[in-house]
Amino acid sequence: MKKLNGIKLKHRKNTENSSTVDFPVPEKVTIPMSMTMGAPCQPLVKVGDTVAVGQKIGDTDAAFSAPVHSGVSGKVTAITDYRNVMGTVCKMIEIETDGLQTVSDEVKPPVVTDKESFVKAVRQSGACGLGGAGFPTHIKLNPKADIDTLIINAAECEPYITADYREMMENPQDIINGINLVKSKLGIKTAKLAIEANKPEAIKNFTAMAENDDTIDIITLPSAYPQGAEKVIIYNSTGRIVNEGSLPADAGVIVMNVSTVAFLYRYMQTGMPLVTRRLTIDGNAVGEPKNVRTVIGTSFRELLEFCKADIDSIKKLIAGGPMMGMSVPDIDMPVVKTSNALLAFNHYDERKTSSCIRCGRCVRVCPLGLMPADIDRAYKIRNVEELKKLKVMLCMNCGSCTYVCPANRKLAETNQLAKALIPRK
């Protein structure tokens, strides 16, 4: 099987042996109505209402979306507009907590009898891809094509982030149970738990756990970025290629994040929807790097203070990893469903960009064989037909091209802007 291109990064997994610690319930949470791909939800509560833990507080009739629940009990004090890191605006519910953490009567294990009721329950859980993409899980688990392989993405290939790794070390049986749950409800024959080679302890543990189960394979991925990208992990786990414009389901595959599949198992047992997240808090401005579990809606500032960060020294704050994460413009922004890391750095140098020297490094590292420098030139003259020929829509924004460019050109960013020029079908 051909080896896909990639780059070697310093892992910087400083918190891999840091057990998850729970952040105390904050005095206030702010919960956006858009935290996944798809349509934003509309508030189901109004100012002055009391809410309980697990209560649904936002939903929509749109199919491509997922409902929003409260992770705290308390009183709704405001409903405002919220602009996220992508620049889009949605409603946001502010709740003052009462410290009681009263659980809603809505929280009860769902009744699941078949695939249809399973998918419906998954939607009610509010689940989405917890690796950062935020694709609604109930859509992913209801494909139109026949599926024969379930791939569990446990690569976590970005530097610093260890949130999924701690899930593997702290809740391994939930992961195995979640895999068997999805396999049985969707009639999938085989599952592959794909783990990057830099996590030998997890590979050892899961290999032992699956020793007598010939329906679950433990796959060791190369320790090279970006192993967690969907097209890359499908190819490296099965040898199958997802063609341009196609979905993994078209190749007979569903890919799920390892924390998502563990959450689904717990939801089916308890009925508690997605209201908390585990985040890795790290970076050289953080005094005590940790893996922290907190309710969705907690402010980044409070988490950073909890980890002894020097707030005034922070020059760069990133939600997610340093390769594909998003720069955070406001330290008071809240934890959302897709939050898996918060990285704070006390220095940031804006590198000077120079002309392309046609060294070809960007081509050699692109896992999909794209030509970022040519895409850059076609984008500048808005040549849509040339961008189509260059297959810009295949770009998964891994950032490898930008990382290796000696001229410091922002090639990955340009690829995303170029994709926006291609008319959608």
**pLDDT (tens digit, 9 = 90+) per residue, 238-259?**
999 999 889 999 999 999 999 9
Q: Report d(CA 238, CA 248) in Å as an integer.
A: 12
- On the question of pLDDT at 364 being above 70, the answer is yes
**pLDDT (tens digit, 9 = 90+) per residue, 61-111?**
999 999 999 999 999 999 999 998 878 899 999 999 999 999 999 999 999
- On the question of pLDDT at 125 being above 80, the answer is yes
**DSSP one-letter code for 88:** -
- On the question of pLDDT at 192 being above 70, the answer is yes
Contacts of 11 (CB under 8 A, 6+ apart): 159, 198
Q: Report d(CA 418, CA 410) in Å as an integer.
A: 12
Q: How confident is the model at residue 3 (pLDDT cuts 50, 70, 90)?
A: confident
Q: How confident is the model at residue 274 (pLDDT cuts 50, 70, 90)?
A: very high
**pLDDT (tens digit, 9 = 90+) per residue, 392-408?**
999 999 999 999 999 99
- On the question of pLDDT at 2 being above 90, the answer is no
**pLDDT (tens digit, 9 = 90+) per residue, 103-117?**
999 999 999 999 999
Percent of the residues in the chain that have a pLDDT greater than 70, as a whole number: 99
**pLDDT (tens digit, 9 = 90+) per residue, 290-310?**
999 999 999 999 999 999 999
Structural contact between residues 387 and 378, judged by C-beta atoms closer than 8 angstroms = yes
What is the average pLDDT value for the chain, to the nearest integer? 95
Predicted pLDDT at 425: 64
Side-chain half-sphere CA neighbours of 184 within 13 A: 10
